[in-house]
Amino acid sequence: MMGRIWTGDEVTEDTTLTCDVCVVGSGAGGGVLGLELAKRGLDVVMLEEGGYHTRRDFDLDEAKAYSTFYQEGGNRATDDLAISIFQGRTVGGGTTINWCACFRTPPEILERWRDVHGVKGLDTAALTPHWDWLEERLSIRDWPIERANRNNRILWDGLGALGYSRGTVKRNVRACAALGTCGVGCPTDAKQSTLVTLIPEAVEQGMRLYANASVRQLSTQGIRVTAVHADVLDPATSRPTGKKLTVNAKVTAVCGGAINSPGLLLRSKLTGRGNVGKRLFLHPVVISQARFRERVEAYSGAPLTVYSRQFIDRGPGKLGWLLEVPPLMPLQSAVALSGFGAEHQEHMASLPHANALLSICLDGVHPGDEGGTVALRDASEYTRFKVRYPLRDFHWEGFREALKVSARIQFAAGAEQVMSPHSRPVVMRGEKDIALLDRAPYSPLECSVVSAHQMGGCAMGGSPETSVVDSTLRYWDLDNLFVVDGSVFPTALGVNPMETILGVARWGSQHVAAAVGSTA
Amino acid sequence: MSLSRRTVLKQGMFASALLALGGSSFLALREGLSLPIPEEGLQVFGPAEYATFQALARRAFPAREGFPSADTVRVAFLADRLLARGDPSIAREVRQVLGLFDNALAGLLFSGHVTPFSRLPPAAQDAVLEGWRSSRLVFRRTAHQALRALAHAAYYSHPDAVRATGFIAPEGFHDANAPVWRGSADGAFAGSGGTSR
């Protein structure tokens, strides 16, 4: 079988394909799964809603990148716009446009999945050989502090000055020029995304990949999926061309991520006894912006290379967080950072002197924290979902304390000014001003919250009454449907999710292959 | 502050009622600013929405040395093109919000003036914007956020605005003619991953 990558403009008539496994989505989950199945000699068809964009398209133009490589043109958000959601939509999914941070799953999270959610057989020992393989294959290596850019150095220095724990981040790169533009695609192929690693290898093994194929529905009969129905999209406009792609597969694996996967199941009337679309976790993030006298140039150099989990566990009932820094590209900063009018322009004029600190909050691990929901909108709304994520006092308390810690770290590293993410920012000029954060308003849209990590929505668990897939990633009520992506996480992680998704997908590939009848 | 479900529902109904009012009352028919339509035409905005958005952009990007003006960047035109690339439902919602934003009846209800936003003097426009930003009604804050984000995305998509921030994109790394590999018929994959196995 000759593998190949097709784009929407090449599908000029309605087409029906047959195969062993249809993989829907090409990100961290789909990319690994496609390769593992193709290596077993299985006939794999992969469908990706986004376009096939390669380094020739990664010209570092932010406006083009967000509108082309991201979900909803970079405008995905909760229904009330209180949380902006950055998520990839291109061949390679999030791995093509993320900031290259790799963490193995914290053991306590896997233990929680076992003890609280009834997940069986998925522990550190089971995942370790897969992580070992992936780290070798994707060149996942430590980015030493000596190579950190000024933006990350600020976090490192501030943590050190206050005596907080700190570490350096592993990155999936090879011959990285540290351009700082990872979020708009890597123009040198240094980033070892699935786009340039596992997917080409799978295609060389025979996998057929169709980009610009938006899967609209799964047909089912009895306890089996019988067909996957996709609309072919025009690569230039992302609008349907009217052509249909139908895949008849022995087994179907949904790998669309934590919003699109539950969305596809719901469109297919697969509600998982009411569990599909529930327990959506976003790692909600608040951003503390600082200004330094010297140039920081947070848009240059490897973007995310220092972290701290000092505050990840604040005790029962308290939201904890992971600390990292983001790159500060102009357009992204303008939209994500606070202020309006002259005040906002002042921030933008000092962009080369700006540092930002992310507090990435760990959701889903406290009693009563059920996260958000994904539901369908009007049928005419092609790419949008009704995403809700109620922010409660529990969240706001955590955000407020996180912003106070961030400000202390930034001042300890020498910041001359720190600003909160409020729509009218709290401006602090020294330690004594940090108390101002206690009097600021904490409510949706008055304090900005963002998300770049989406998890859950098709939770894995020990019972069909409380989860969507079982401990082999199989949809509880269908024999030949699997979900293989971050949507199966029963909780968030408290670390960047890519390596967990990669590892779970490689571990889960054995179950998908077994469902076809392959024991290789 | 968390809102009760009932409060949210009431606000939602209120917002829906206001949106439905657009263009249906005497006050709603008061005309806002009129601007020449761009030579290239508009794909999403109508003339009134185009002018309202450009009026908002002028307040979002007041004159500042080194930064291009909202008119130089043609913020409303670029926003129109951004919306045209997205899901039509988003464009529809933004148009509704702009209609409400410039609606004299809504202006009377929210800030006590009957002049459409786009015809108010700058200081009054700033006050209106501040009223939407800090409103107790979530839907007004949502509307402010939607318009703000669109304006910022449009403005900072312009090279002169990007340059004004001090950012300089790395040069010499992008190859617009790099070959696109589609399968083994094109030879071995040339990416860094493909050459390392």
**B156 to A334: CB separation less than 8 angstroms, yes or no:** yes
**B167 to A329: CB separation less than 8 angstroms, yes or no:** yes
Beta carbons of B171 and A168 less than 8 angstroms apart: no
Residues in CB range of A374: below 8 A, 6 or more apart: A258, A259, A262, A263, A266, A277, A280, A385, A386, A387, A457
**A197 to B173: CB separation less than 8 angstroms, yes or no:** no
Compare CB distances from B138 to A80, A177, A381 and report the shortest one's residue: A80
Instruction: Provide, as residue numbers in chain A, all residues whose Cβ is less than 8 Å from the Cβ of B179.
Output: 56
Instruction: Provide, as residue numbers in chain A, all residues whose Cβ is less than 8 Å from the Cβ of B129.
Output: 340-341
- The minimum CA-CA distance between A468 and chain B, rounded to whole Å, is 27
**Closest residue of B to A66, CA-based?**
B153
**B165 to A3: CB separation less than 8 angstroms, yes or no:** no
The predicted structure's pLDDT at residue B7:
40
**Closest residue of B to A193, CA-based?**
B193
**B67 to A377: CB separation less than 8 angstroms, yes or no:** no
Instruction: Write the single-letter amino acid at B162.
Output: V
- The minimum CA-CA distance between A100 and chain B, rounded to whole Å, is 15
The predicted structure's pLDDT at residue A82:
94
The predicted structure's pLDDT at residue B104:
59
**A59 to B174: CB separation less than 8 angstroms, yes or no:** yes
More confident residue, A445 or B14: A445
Rounded Cα distance, A354 and A348, in Å: 9
Q: What are the residue boundaries of the structural domains of chain A, listed by start? A: 12-70+92-139+174-275+458-516
Phi, psi of A24 (to 5 degrees): -100, 100
B positions 92-131 inside 8 Å of A (CB): 126, 129
**A81 to B175: CB separation less than 8 angstroms, yes or no:** no
Render pLDDT for B169-193 as a digit per residue (tens, 0 to 9): 899 999 999 999 999 888 888 765 4
Instruction: Provide, as residue numbers in chain A, all residues whose Cβ is less than 8 Å from the Cβ of B162.
Output: 62, 330-331
The predicted structure's pLDDT at residue B30:
58
Q: Is the pLDDT of residue B3 over 60?
A: no
- Interval B52-63 mean pLDDT: 96
**B193 to A445: CB separation less than 8 angstroms, yes or no:** no
Which tokens in the block code for residue B128? 């209106």
Instruction: Write the single-letter amino acid at A359.
Output: S
Rounded Cα distance, A403 and A395, in Å: 12
Fold of A12-70+92-139+174-275+458-516: FAD/NAD(P)-binding domain (3.50.50)
Measuring CA to CA, how many Å separate A199 from each of A97, A260, A399, B184, B189?
Answer: 15, 20, 38, 12, 10
Rounded Cα distance, A421 and A447, in Å: 6
For chain A, say whether B84 makes contact (Cβ under 8 Å).
no
Buried b / exposed e along A256-276 (16+ C-beta atoms within 10 A): bbbbbbbbbbbbbebebeebb
Tell me which H or E stretch contains B90.
helix B88-101
**A201 to B152: CB separation less than 8 angstroms, yes or no:** no
**A201 to B67: CB separation less than 8 angstroms, yes or no:** no
Please give chain A's pLDDT, 520 residues, in tens. 689 999 999 999 999 999 999 999 999 999 999 999 999 999 999 999 999 999 999 999 999 999 999 999 999 999 999 999 999 999 999 999 999 999 999 999 999 999 999 999 999 999 999 999 999 999 999 999 999 999 999 999 999 999 999 999 999 999 999 999 999 999 999 999 999 999 999 999 999 999 999 999 999 999 999 999 999 999 999 999 999 999 999 999 999 999 999 999 999 999 999 999 999 999 999 999 999 999 999 999 999 999 999 999 999 999 999 999 999 999 999 998 888 999 999 999 999 999 999 999 999 999 999 999 999 998 778 889 999 999 999 999 999 999 999 999 999 999 999 999 999 999 999 999 999 999 999 999 999 999 999 999 999 999 999 999 999 999 999 999 999 999 999 999 999 999 999 999 999 999 999 999 854 4
Rounded Cα distance, B182 and B169, in Å: 29
Tell which of A6, A80, A181, A442 to mutate to test the B interface (max B CBs under 10 Å): A80
Measuring CA to CA, how many Å separate A47 from each of A135, A255, A309, A376?
Answer: 26, 10, 37, 21
For the question of whether the overall pTM of this predicted structure is more than 0.90, the answer is yes
The predicted structure's pLDDT at residue A380:
79
- Sorting pLDDT into bands at 50, 70 and 90, what band is B9? very low
Rounded Cα distance, A421 and A289, in Å: 7
The predicted structure's pLDDT at residue B2:
35
**Closest residue of B to A80, CA-based?**
B142
